[in-house]
Amino acid sequence: MSRPTLAALAAGALFGLGLAMSGMTDPRRVLGFLDLFGDFDPTLAFVLGGAVATTALLFRPVLRRGRPVLAAAFQLSSLRHIDRRLLGGAALFGIGWGIAGYCPGPALAGLGIMSTEALWFVPAMLAGTLLHHLVTRTRGPTP
């Protein structure tokens, strides 16, 4: 196994461990965060705040390195505008997250602890990914 693959595996495992330790593999935490006028649970705000603070502090210094440790170059998006597809995808992601209480990272980490919600969510997520791939391949890339 290559060093970049091992590094990706280690990073994914660390991310999954962090999600599990913070309770973010439990969709009720997310749904509790979204329930502003009911049984509100602010835990997700602290997890998101930690992620935003880490990114805010380290993004620029990491980019100043010139290149990643295990790759030839950084792979950053060149997109500089907001279009219908981006907004539609974000809305669909948010609606799904609000209904299920899961997004891909916690769902995959939930598989590791055999969460019953993850056992139905992940196949549905993979089916949606396959459907998107088939639709965009049939239509071709959009300008």
Q: Give the number of domains in the chain.
A: 1
pLDDT band at 20 (very low <50, low <70, confident <90, very high): confident
Which pLDDT score, from 0 to 100, does residue 99 have?
A: 87
Domain span at residue 57 reads 3-139
pLDDT band at 23 (very low <50, low <70, confident <90, very high): confident
Sort 112 into a burial class: Cβ within 10 Å, 0-12 / 13-18 / 19+: middle
DSSP conformation class of 113: T
Question: pTM of the predicted model, to two decimals?
Answer: 0.69
Residue pLDDT, tens place only, 27-81: 888 889 988 998 899 988 998 899 999 999 999 999 999 898 888 899 888 888 9
Contact present, 71 and 60 (Cβ < 8 Å):
no
